[in-house]
Amino acid sequence: QVIKCKAAVLWEANKPFSIEEVEVAPPKEHEVRIKIMATGICRSDDHVVTGALVMPFPIILGHEAAGVVESVGQGVTSFKPGDKVIPLFIPQCGECKSCLNTKGNLCSKNDLALGGGLMSDGTTRFTCKGKAVHHFLGTSTFTEYTVAHESAVAKIDSAAPLEKVCLIGCGFSTGYGAALQTAKVEPGSTCAVFGLGGVGLSVIIGCKVAGASRIIAVDINSDKFARAKELGATDCINPKDFQKPIHEVVIEMTGQGVDYSFEVIGRTDTMTAALACCQYNYGVSVIVGVPPAAQKITFDPMLLFTGRSWKGSVFGGWKSKDSVPKLVADYMNKKFVLDALITHTLPFTKINEGFDLLRKGK
- pLDDT tens track for 160-184: 999 999 999 999 999 999 999 999 9
- pLDDT tens track for 189-210: 999 999 999 999 999 999 999 9
For residue 15, the one-letter residue type is K
What would the mean pLDDT of 102-130 be, rounded to a whole number?
90
CA distances in angstroms from 150 to 16, 91, 105, 154, 302, listed in the order given: 31, 9, 17, 8, 45
Of the chain, the percentage scoring pLDDT greater than 70 comes to 99
- pLDDT tens track for 290-329: 887 778 998 999 999 999 999 999 999 999 999 999 999 9
- pLDDT tens track for 71-103: 999 999 999 999 999 999 999 999 999 999 999
CA distances in angstroms from 153 to 39, 81, 107, 340, listed in the order given: 15, 13, 13, 26
Q: Is the pLDDT of residue 146 over 80?
A: yes
The span from the CA of 362 to the CA of 355, in Å, is 10
What angle do helix axes 246-254 and 268-276 make, rounded to 10 degrees?
20
pTM over 0.85: yes
Number of H helices and number of E strands within the chain?
11, 16
Q: Which residues pair with 72 in a beta bridge?
A: 32
CATH number of 183-312: 3.40.50.720
On the CB side of 266, CA atoms within 13 Å amount to 16
pLDDT of residue 337: 92
What would the mean pLDDT of 327-340 be, rounded to a whole number?
95
What would the mean pLDDT of 111-128 be, rounded to a whole number?
88
Q: What does the domain layout of the chain look like in residue ranges?
A: 3-171+317-360, 183-312
Catalytic residues: 42, 44, 47, 63, 170
For residue 296, the one-letter residue type is K
What would the mean pLDDT of 222-229 be, rounded to a whole number?
96
Q: Edge-to-edge strand order for the sheet containing 260-263? A: 235-237, 214-218, 190-194, 260-263, 284-287, 309-312
CATH number of 3-171+317-360: 3.90.180.10
Tell me the average pLDDT of the chain.
Answer: 95
